[in-house]
Structure 1
Amino acid sequence: MSKPDLTVALVCGPDCDMDSNAIRSAIEYFGGRVITYWIGRPNDLIGVLSGEELYPDTDYIILNFHGDEGQFVMPELDESVYGVNEPKGDFSPNDVKRFAKLKDKIILANGCTLGVPLLAQAFMDSGCQAYIGPDDYPDGNAALMFALRFFYEIIQNKKSVKEAFELAKTTDEEMSMYQFYERK
């Protein structure tokens, strides 16, 4: 195998396996390397966001989750299953501030309301280079198409992150809810 153009961490939230598989297949077809992380509990997500479980030389992180009101939707576990200090309920901006260490990473949070300013700022404070996500509730097919077009432009057409974002936004009206945050 030749050296891939880039390495992507695909972080698959609960009930997001179909579109995650489509995203993975497309990025690999375009020439990228994809490392998939299946999230079943908050500690799984913490392992990725803290960098402890993140594959070396990861360029991009796709947080492919369902989102609601600016939080990552997490499964509700039985009280006896949670670890010590493991957050319960949905994963909030405060949880991101507490655990994330993502120096120079580019994040696509591809779930409903995961592009709201409060959550984006929490990720930017963790050291991200750029953060992208919708600030409203896009149709699932639109979210999939945004991710595919974004990575197509980066890999195939060698566009910058900002250029790829702008081109992906032109795909249709649903894409207008995607927001771009960049470290200055």
Structure 2
Amino acid sequence: MIFGAFRESIDTASLRDGSMPPEVIAQHADLPGTSIVSTACLSGSQAFASAFLENGSHCVIGPDGYPDGADAGLFIHLLFHRLLRCGEPLSQALETIRSYDERLALFIGRTAPRKPPGG
């Protein structure tokens, strides 16, 4: 698990309408081989995920919409429970949690496309 810090070059001047746009993330993301979990609204969108995936992250999980704050907290709690207590792999934990109800199904996972052998 990596809890990193933002680069000093990223500050509130990079925000647009209170959010960090994917193109700014793409300029600074450098987390090869990591899985990104975000509870920020729309952070499960293809644009947000691509900002990390195109810079080496292997998976991005986030809501493809606007989760209620309580649902976001519950999602994180359940994710760590499924990973740490139940020993499930990330993809299985995500699918289990998404099956609980439509509010938790808002959280989706996106992965980098697999490269063909020799490609």
* Structure 1 counterpart of 2:28, one-letter code: F
* CA distance in structure 1 between the partners assigned to 2:55 and 2:93 by the alignment: 23
Can you give the 5+ residue segments of structure 2 that lack an aligned partner in the other structure?
115-119
Aligned length: 110
TM-score by length of 2: 0.81
Determine the structure 2 residue equivalent to 1:97: 26
Tell me: CA distance 1:155–1:92, structure 2 relative to 1, closer, same or farther (3 Å).
Answer: same
* CA distance in structure 1 between the partners assigned to 2:55 and 2:69 by the alignment: 28
Determine the structure 2 residue equivalent to 1:26: none
Computed over aligned residues only, the root mean square deviation of the Cα atoms, in angstroms, reads 2.2
What SS does structure 2 have at the residue aligned with 1:94?
Answer: helix
* 8 Å CA contact 1:135, 1:177 repeated in 2: yes
What SS does structure 1 have at the residue aligned with 2:87?
Answer: coil
Please point out which of 139, 149, 163 is paired with 2:78: 149
1:54-93 matched pairs, under 5 angstroms: 87-89=14-16, 90-93=19-22
Cα displacement (A) at 1:8: 4.6
Cα displacement (A) at 1:87: 2.7
- What do residues 69-95 of structure 1 show as CA deviations (whole Å, max 9, x unaligned)? xxxxx85xxxxxxxxxx6354321110
Tell me: CA distance 1:160–1:123, structure 2 relative to 1, closer, same or farther (3 Å).
Answer: same
1:118-129 matched pairs, under 5 angstroms: 118-129=47-58
Please point out which of 153, 164, 170 is paired with 2:93: 164
- What do residues 32-79 of structure 1 show as CA deviations (whole Å, max 9, x unaligned)? xxxxx7xxxxxx6336x9xxxxxxxxxxxxxxxxxxxxxxxx85xxxx
TM-score by length of 1: 0.54
Can you give the 5+ residue segments of structure 1 that lack an aligned partner in the other structure?
1-6, 10-36, 38-43, 50-73, 76-85
* CA distance in structure 2 between the partners assigned to 1:122 and 1:8 by the alignment: 18
Determine the structure 1 residue equivalent to 2:117: none
* 8 Å CA contact 1:115, 1:134 repeated in 2: yes
What SS does structure 1 have at the residue aligned with 2:82?
Answer: helix
Q: Where has structure 1 moved over 4 Å in runs of 4 or more?
A: none
* 8 Å CA contact 2:15, 2:21 repeated in 1: no
